[in-house]
Amino acid sequence: MVKLLATADWQLDMKANRLSEEGREALYQARLDALSALLKVAKEESVDYILAAGDLFEVANPRSQLVKDTARILQENSSIPIHAIPGNHDLYGPGSVWEDTRITNIKHLIIHNEYSPIELKGFVLHPLPVKSKHELTPYNDYLEDVSKEERINVVMAHAHDTSYMDLGKISSHEIETKLKIDTSIVQKKGYDFCILGHWHSWTAVQKNSLYPGTHEQTKFGERDAGYVAVIEINADKDPIITKHKVGQLSWEKIEVEITGREEDEVINTIREKKEDGIAFLSVDLVGECDINFRADSIPRITEACEPMFKHFELNLENTEISIDLDTIGNLHQLPPLLSDIQNEILSELGEKPDDENLLAELEEFWRNLRNSGLIGGKF
């Protein structure tokens, strides 16, 4: 039996340029704190090894201070061997972080930059480091059949798992790194487990293949991030996988309806997320508001909410100025057919000026013109 901690995609020194300065500083520290938390879990769970499946650094030559901070944390936690592979972000080579003396002198950190199996206590590790972002050969082709072996065999790779992933549907940013592995083939070749990096969300693929994801969330919309896996592997038995939270920050993206709402109501809705412990919040305001709300209330909402979070952003793409029936007709000259429709509604309103259904019909008429693009601009 062997007990492992599986992790990947630390993305240390990620710039996070979308975030505020305070947010970037908080994320820098959180990624280091999550690394400390990861090492604490490994010690508490008495794992035999830590396996880190690539992209430990965001770039191959990170800032000197980041390398120093990382080395200090790893040197202070030297009781458990760490075996790691380079990923597509932190390729091995001259001038890379992997040749920095502060990293090479971490004696319990072993970097694998070749496809060379290594026998460790209780199992054989098969590292598959990224050597080129544009590797075309599926990594499973580099693996020999071990189905007749009695030893435990573990694969560590940084790749897209094509056993369930349609490469034609993933983002253009990711498809540029042509790294493929089919874990169903890995399983058929007799391997007991496959630890994967590259995707940041916790994803169990086969019963013995796992993306543990990033140890600290990297962006809005990233699901199920901030975990590591503790895996117990026994020959001829299903592995036992335990999920451990190590992430330090909570990210959330929400929609807040503003139609018919007051400024204080919107602020109170956002404040609830602060009380829930959210550190990074992205808010999409949706609906309609009058011009005064847009010009005055929205800036005040931003000013009130920014101090509540490490990072706060307010997005207005889904907001529009409400229809003002007293002025809109003077702003836009309608073609004859549309003018006839409006005049018909206005004629009925002349007879029933307080009819709410007719007023709503006229408002919806102008709203449909705006939404269809038949009249320009937001009003």
What pLDDT does 167 receive?
66
What is the pTM (predicted TM-score) of this model?
0.84
What is the DSSP-derived secondary structure letter of residue 145? P
Are 25 and 97 members of one domain? Answer: yes
Angstrom distance (rounded) from CA 359 to CA 346: 9
Angstrom distance (rounded) from CA 172 to CA 70: 31
What pLDDT does 194 receive?
98
Are 47 and 172 members of one domain? Answer: yes
What pLDDT does 314 receive?
96
Residue 111 has pLDDT above 70, yes or no: yes
pLDDT digits (tens, 9 = 90+) for 236-261: 889 999 999 999 999 999 999 999 99
**Residues 139/87, Cβ–Cβ less than 8 Å:** no
Residue 351 has pLDDT above 60, yes or no: yes
- For residue 64, the cross-strand partners are none
**Residues 197/9, Cβ–Cβ less than 8 Å:** yes
- For residue 193, the cross-strand partners are 154
Range of the domain at 352: 328-372
Query: What is the token pair recorded at 179?
Result: 């790294």
What pLDDT does 168 receive?
66
Are 293 and 224 members of one domain? Answer: no
Q: How many CB atoms lie within 10 A of CB 272?
A: 10
Lowest mean pLDDT among 16-25, 63-72, 290-299, 345-354: 345-354
pLDDT digits (tens, 9 = 90+) for 120-169: 999 999 999 999 988 889 999 999 999 999 999 999 999 999 998 776 66
Number of domains the chain is built from? 3
Are 305 and 343 members of one domain? Answer: no
Are 347 and 284 members of one domain? Answer: no
Angstrom distance (rounded) from CA 194 to CA 13: 27
What pLDDT does 148 receive?
92
**Mean predicted confidence (pLDDT) in 223-234:** 96
What pLDDT does 379 receive?
40
Are 126 and 224 members of one domain? Answer: yes
Angstrom distance (rounded) from CA 86 to CA 54: 5
What pLDDT does 295 receive?
84
Q: What percent of the chain has pLDDT over 90?
A: 72
Mean pLDDT of the chain: 90
**Mean predicted confidence (pLDDT) in 63-90:** 96
**Mean predicted confidence (pLDDT) in 99-118:** 97
Q: Which stretches of the chain are assigned E, i.e. beta strand?
A: 2-7, 49-52, 82-84, 109-111, 118-120, 123-128, 153-158, 160-161, 180-181, 193-197, 203-204, 209-211, 227-233, 240-245, 251-257, 280-289, 311-315, 319-321
pLDDT digits (tens, 9 = 90+) for 179-207: 999 999 999 999 999 999 999 999 999 88
The amino acid occupying position 165 is: M
221-228 contact pairs (CB < 8 A, 24+): 221/253, 222/251, 225/200, 225/201, 226/34, 227/202, 228/5, 228/6, 228/7, 228/38, 228/41
The amino acid occupying position 146 is: V
What pLDDT does 372 receive?
77
Query: What is the token pair recorded at 73?
Result: 């944390």
Q: Is residue 65 part of a domain?
A: yes
Are 150 and 169 members of one domain? Answer: yes
The amino acid occupying position 227 is: Y
Q: Is residue 107 part of a domain?
A: yes
Longest alpha-carbon distance in the chain: 91
Residue 31 has pLDDT above 70, yes or no: yes
Nearest to 218 by CA among 3, 17, 7, 2: 17
Are 273 and 229 members of one domain? Answer: no
Last residue of a domain, one of 245, 264, 297: 245
Helix (H, G, I), strand (E, B) or coil at 76: helix
Q: How many CB atoms lie within 10 A of CB 33?
A: 17
What are the φ/ψ torsions at residue 304 (nearest 5 degrees)?
-70, -35
Q: Is residue 260 part of a domain?
A: yes
Q: Is residue 66 part of a domain?
A: yes
Q: Is residue 356 part of a domain?
A: yes
Query: Residue 350, class by beta-carbon neighbours within 10 Å (0-12 exposed, 13-18 middle, 19+ buried)?
Result: exposed
Are 94 and 55 members of one domain? Answer: yes
Residue 378 has pLDDT above 50, yes or no: no
Are 288 and 168 members of one domain? Answer: no
CATH classification at residue 55? 3.60.21.10
Are 198 and 256 members of one domain? Answer: no
Last residue of a domain, one of 187, 214, 245: 245
Are 215 and 256 members of one domain? Answer: no
Q: Is residue 379 part of a domain?
A: no
Q: Is residue 377 part of a domain?
A: no
The upper half-sphere exposure of residue 298, i.e. CA atoms within 13 Å in the direction of its Cβ, equals 24
pLDDT digits (tens, 9 = 90+) for 311-343: 999 999 998 866 555 556 665 677 787 777 777
| Residue corresponding to tokens 């930059």 | 113
Last residue of a domain, one of 217, 245, 273: 245
